[in-house]
Amino acid sequence: MKILSVEQLCLWDQYTIEQEPISSINLMERAATKCVEWLLLQYPDVAAFSIFCGKGNNGGDGLAIARMLMQQHYPVIIYILEFGHKGTDDFQTNLARLHQLPKADIHFIQTEEQFHALPKEQVVIDALFGSGLNRNLEGVTAKLVEHINNSRCQIISIDIPSGLFVDHSSNGNAAIKATHTLSFQCYKTAFLVAESQEYIGELHILDIGLHNSFFQSAFTRFELVDEVIIHSIYKPRNRFAHKGNFGHALLVAGSYGKMGAAVLSAKACMRSGAGLLTCHIPKCGYEILQSSVPEAMVLTDLNNEFITKINDDLTKYEAIGIGPGIGTAAATKMMLRELFDSYRSPIVLDADALNIIAAQKDLLQLIPAGSILTPHPKEFERLFGETPNDFEKIELALEKAKELNSIIVLKGHHSFIATTDGKGFFNNTGNPGMATAGSGDILTGILTGLLAQGYSSVETAILGVYLHGLAGDVAARELSMEAMVAGDIIKNLGPAYQLIQY
């Protein structure tokens, strides 16, 4: 699903108005109707609705919602933030319509003294500012936001919580902390970054019938990975295929005390569909890996406790994954440098491989083209430096992906996949139950297995991250997020594959 910028969202509204055709006030009516339908399903027995409106079109939405709720005989109190200007035409139209109803309870706010108590039994609707906001809230407006946040009421934001920007960071801004956000037609970038999550609450995307041809033709930098994208990538198996058709993967993993990382990664690689898997591990892990993953072949290092050298013909491997549990011993660092010198096909780099690179930055320029780096936020920071906010981190990931000619998977709730051509993909599977030891090792195994099967680096990253999260979602439904361990993700890769096949 494409993620549109603020400018594109405005153009989409205008395109719909011209092409459907429909008047802007009737399009606003359509949006308000969808919101009211949701509100009445969610809060059929509410004591009252308190609706806070600015004087832009977001406030116009709020006034239309107020009128429709009153027509359904719900108690409604309307508060309008008043700073002298008339407001937009559609705001004025909806205000006039509201005045036609008997006993419309409207209050205008200019100072803090005009704030009213908000009993916690009420539901507050935030229609102060929408996607068009381009400056920080201050003065009475910021104080009003604080007043609403302190109310202990359920807060429903229309379009986007007031105070948040769509396309750039809102760090430090006064902003509504919504219980639910009712937005329209498609995701916005602000909904997908960690810094916004305390404000968004539970997100609901409402279809208000904007003209689909605009959406289909729009070019966007960012997309949200959905079933359409996954089905375009996934390659069903030929019934006459054999294991040689699905690649030979090499995993370089493990050290003394960290052989569990190698086991998890190897199991995930096999479950991802790789035809053959060889694991290069230290001697201490031989019995562990042979008994835990009998499907894999094992090569042992000369060293007992950590990996020092890979004495093998690397050209026979379609993909290599390296990093889980390898540690950062001096000899292991040298091994990674030698690997970059001798293997020029894409490599999946995770965990300690990334930590080694972060400590020896010249290695960045030796990474083979098309490789996939999978840092969590702290590893990303060690590799590429600090950024002041999530939006700049995303831009830095895109810049570095292009510079290194590699794919960067910035792991998180909506993991961000930065590609070499400047496009970015937000993942839409996964849950907090996956924040557990070994989850990243499993992703490394999945990505290595997919890369070995012939998926491109971009396809591997998108499909692998999606499957990883989907398996975690299946596990969470069965076990709860709290009780999940990393091995449960592996166990549910099969059900995850079944879900994407239909």
Residues 93 and 235 in one domain: no
- Contact present, 170 and 113 (Cβ < 8 Å): no
DSSP 290-302: HHH-TTSEEEE-S
Which residue range forms the structural domain that includes residue 417?
227-500
Report pLDDT for 254: 98
Do 240 and 177 lie in a common domain?
no
- Does residue 161 have a cis bond before it (omega within 30 degrees)? no
CATH number reported for the structural domain that contains residue 445 in this entry: 3.40.1190.20
pLDDT tens-digit profile of 410-465?
Answer: 999 999 999 999 999 999 999 999 999 999 999 999 999 999 999 999 999 999 99
Give pLDDT, residue 85. 79
What CATH number has the domain bearing residue 20? 3.40.50.10260
Task: Show the low-confidence residues of the chain (pLDDT under 70).
Answer: 84
Residues 214 and 341 both lie in one domain: no
Q: Are 408 and 418 in contact (CB under 8 A)?
A: yes
Whether residues 234 and 159 fall in one domain: no
The answer to whether residues 359 and 483 belong to one domain is: yes
Last residue of a domain, one of 196, 220, 244: 220
Q: What percent of the chain is predicted at pLDDT more than 70?
A: 100
Q: What's the order of all strands across the beta sheet hosting 347-349? A: 2-3, 222-224, 424-426, 416-418, 407-410, 372-373, 347-349, 319-322, 248-252, 276-281, 297-300
Q: Please answer whether residues 248 and 318 qualify as being in contact, where contact means their C-beta atoms are separated by less than 8 angstroms.
A: yes
Q: Are residues 64 and 33 part of one domain?
A: yes
Residues 391 and 476 in one domain: yes
Last residue of a domain, one of 180, 203, 220: 220
Kindly state whether residues 210 and 234 are assigned to the same domain. Answer: no
Q: 46 and 190 share a domain? A: yes
Number of domains in the chain: 2
Distance (Å, whole) CA 325 – CA 307? 10
Residue type, 338: E
In a shared domain, residues 206 and 231: no
Q: Is the dihedral of CA 331, 334, 338, 343 positive or negative?
A: positive
398/301 same-domain check: yes
pLDDT value of residue 372: 98
Q: Are residues 419 and 474 in the same domain?
A: yes
Single out the residue in 220, 243, 272 at which a domain terminates: 220
Q: Which amino acid is at 474?
A: V
E strand or H helix at 319: strand 319-322
Report pLDDT digits (tens) over 254-294.
999 999 999 999 999 999 999 999 999 999 999 999 999 99
Tally of CB atoms within 10 A around 485: 16
Predicted local distance difference test score (pLDDT) of residue 302: 96
